[in-house]
Structure 1
C-alpha cells in the first residue's frame, strides 16, 4: 500500500523492476519481474517476482485516484481550508504532542505551511505593489484588482513549489487529507479500505503467507484495513496462513495524535493486541518524512505496548547508498523517503527487494529479528540485521 502519491501504479512496478535488477547484481541473485496486470475492478496492480526459483505475488493496492482528486487542490480551497484546519489543531492541543513525538517531521510539516503562508502574503504584497504603479487617476478602483492578481501570482508560485525541493502543494494537501481522514470526512477512502480488506482477506488459504506493507500514509491505512478484517473475522491469521504487517517510513502518530482520530487509534490498539498478526516497523532516523522516535502506541498516547509490538529494525542510510550520493540527495526529502523501497548497496543490509522476495518467509524474519531484540544489548548490536 503506497503513500499519498498521485502517480499511476505502474510507476511502482517500474521502480520495483529497476531495483530488482540492482539487487540481483549486488547480491549475486537471479531475480525476474513479470509484466504488471491490473485487476478487473481496477483496485490492484499485480505482478510476480521470482528470486532463485521462488515466486512471490506482489499486489499494489491502489488509491492514486483518490489522491489525484485531492492533489493538487485549487488555491481557493486551500485558502479556505488551511486556516480552518490549523485553527482546529491549535485549539485541540495537537501541536505540542505532535512536535514532541515527531520533531523533524513536525518541522517539515509546520515549515511547509509557514512557506505557504509566506507565499500567500508575498502574492498579496506583490499584487498591491504592481497595481500601485497604475496611473493615479485609476485609484482607488484599481486596487479592486488586488485579489484576482494575487490569486494568479499564488497559483504560479504554488506550481513552482509543487515539486522539489519544497513540495509545498504536496505536503499541504497531504496534511489536509490526513486530518480529514482522522475526522472520518473522507468517505471514498473509507470505502476503499473496505475493498482493500476484502482483497487481503481473500488471499487467506491461497498463499503460503500474507504480508501487508504500508509505506508512509499507508502505515496507518494498512492498520485500518487489517482492523476491518478482524472486525468481520476475529480468527483471521489463525487458520494456517501466517499474516504480517510491515510499516515502512511510518507516520502513524501524525494522525493518531489528532483528537478526532478515534477510529484510527482504536484500529492501532486492536491490531497491536492481535498476536495472530506479526508486525515489523522498518525505521530510518535519516528520513525526515517519517515519525520514528518511539513505539507508535506510546507516541499516540495509548497504553504501553506489549513487548515487540512492533518488532523494530533501524536502517542506516550509508548501508543503502554511497556517501557521495547521500550528500547530493539528503535535502530531496521525498527521494530519501522512498529509499527504503529500494535496493541497498551493502549486500548484508536491509534490502526491500530481497526482503519481499527472499526465501525466508516474512513471519519467520520477524520472529528472528524479535529474538535479536531480546538478546543482551552488546550482542544484539553486533548481530542486528539492520544496524
Structure 2
C-alpha cells in the first residue's frame, strides 16, 4: 500500500472531509461528529472533545482526544461543494422530468446501466428508485385528475379540465414538498448531475476541485504528522481527482507529513463507467500506483447505496501492473452493530449510507474516530490487514480509455 516509513505516534493531524452530493450546510457534519464521536468514546473507553475551529479556511472544527494514553489534536475541515449541489437541484418539476428522461437515456444507451448491474444490486436499485417513484407520482396525479374529470364532465363539460389541471399541479407540488421523506427528486438530481456530461467534470466542479487541491498542497508544507483526506459517497471520486492533482503537481510527498486517503461508501462506478469519464479513470489509475500514500477503501454489503467491496480501480478497467491500492475492506455492519441496532437500521438505507461516520456498538478495526483523532496513521492502523475476500476486482466497465 505505501512505502512510507513507519511514523511515530500522531500528535497533530489535518483532516479534510469531502462530502457526497449534499445541499445542506456543513454544520450537520460537525454535529454528527460531536454526537457520534461522544457515543463511540463512551463505548470504546477513550476521550474525545470538539470545539469551534479558529483561523481562516473552510468550515470545520477542532478535535482533542486521549486514546491509548496518547493526546492527539486534529483540525477537521469540510471541503464544501454544497453550493454547486444546490444549483444543480434548482430545477422546476417539468425540468426534473426532462432530467429523468435524459439521465435514463444516457445510462441505458451507453450500456452503462447493464454494466453496473453486474456489480451490486443495491446501488442500481437505488438509481432506479427515483425514476420509478417520480413516474408513480405523475401517474397517481393523472389518475386522480382523470377521476375528477369523469365526475365533473357530465355537469360542466370540458370545463372540468380546469380543476383537473389544478389537482395535478397541487399534487405534484405536494410530492415535491415531502421529498425530504421520499428522496425521489434528491436522488434524481444526484444521478443527473453525474451523468450530465457523460462522466466529465463540469467547469464549476473542476475549479472547485482545484481549490481543494491547492489547500491540501499547502497543508503538506505545515508542521503536522498526518494529512488525512476522507471522501464519502460521491466525495470519494472527487477525492481521487483532488489527490491525483496534488501528487502530480508536487511530484510526490515526503515522509512527513504522511498523506493518507480514506474512501467510504464509494459510488465511483456510477461516474467512471460513463464514456466521457476520462479524467476520473486516469486519476484512478494514477492514484492506485502511488506508493507514497496510503489509500483505504471501506464499504459494507449492508449499505445499499454504495458499490460495496468493489475495487473502484479494478472494476473501472484501469488496474495496471503497478497497482498497489486501494486496500478494500468491509465495515461489516452485521458484525459491528448490535443485533438490535442492525434490525433498527437495516431498512433505513439513507441512514446506513452514513454509518461509516457514526458510532459502532462492537467496533472492529474500522473506527472513524480512532482514524481521524487517534495516535496511529492510516497506514499504521491497517498495516498487514488482508483485503476483504468478498471484494470484486474484475474489470466490468465498457469504457476504459483514460484520454479523450
User: Does the CA contact (< 8 Å) of 1:38 and 1:44 recur in 2?
Assistant: no
Q: 2:169 aligned to 144, 151, 176, which one? A: 151
| 3-state SS of 1:373 partner | coil
2:238 paired with 1:221: yes
Is 1:242 paired with 2:258? yes
Q: Does 1:61 align with 2:97?
A: no
Q: Does residue 323 of the first structure (1) align with residue 371 of the second (2)?
A: no
Partner of 1:47: 62
Higher relative contact order (CA 8 A, sep 6+): 2
> Does the aligned pair in 2 maintain the 1:248–1:281 contact within 8 Å?
yes
The structure richer in helix per residue is: 1
Q: Deviations over 1:294-335 (max 9, x none)?
A: 311221122357565111221221444321222122111111
Deviations 1:122-158 (A, max 9, x none): 2222223223322436433543665564233122123
TM-score normalised according to structure 2 size:
0.84
Report the Cα distance in structure 1 between the residues aligned to 2:325 and 2:316, rounded to whole angstroms.
Answer: 14
Cα separation, partners in 2 of 1:182 and 1:44, compared to 1, 3 Å: farther
- Counting matched residue pairs gives 368
Q: Counterparts of 2:306 and 2:20 in 1: how far apart (Å)?
A: 11
Alignment of 1:287-366 (within 5 A): 287-304=303-320, 306=322, 308-366=324-382
Tell me, in whole angstroms, the C-alpha distance in 1 between the residues paired with 2:41 and 2:169: 51
Cα separation, 1, equivalents of 2:166 and 2:319: 51
Q: Structure 1 unaligned runs (5+)?
A: 378-387
Q: How far does the alpha carbon of each residue in 1:258-315 deviate from its partner, in whole angstroms, 9 at most, with x for none?
A: 1121211111111112222211001211100110243112211223575651112212
TM-score normalised to structure 1 length:
0.87
Of 324-333 and 303-312, deviating more is 303-312
CA contact (8 A) 1:182 1:261 kept: yes
Which residue in 2 is equivalent to 1:372?
A: 385
CA RMSD of aligned residues (A): 2.4
Q: Distance in 1 between matches of 2:304 and 2:36?
A: 22
Aligned to 1:382: none
CA contact (8 A) 2:52 2:60 kept: no
State how far apart, in whole Å, the 1-side matches of 2:42 and 2:63 are. 19
Q: Which residue of 2 is the match for residue 233 of structure 1?
A: 250
Distance 1:89 1:253 in 2: 12
TM-fit CA distance, 1:112: 2.8
Gaps of 5+ in 2: 1-17, 390-404
SS in 2 for 1:251: coil
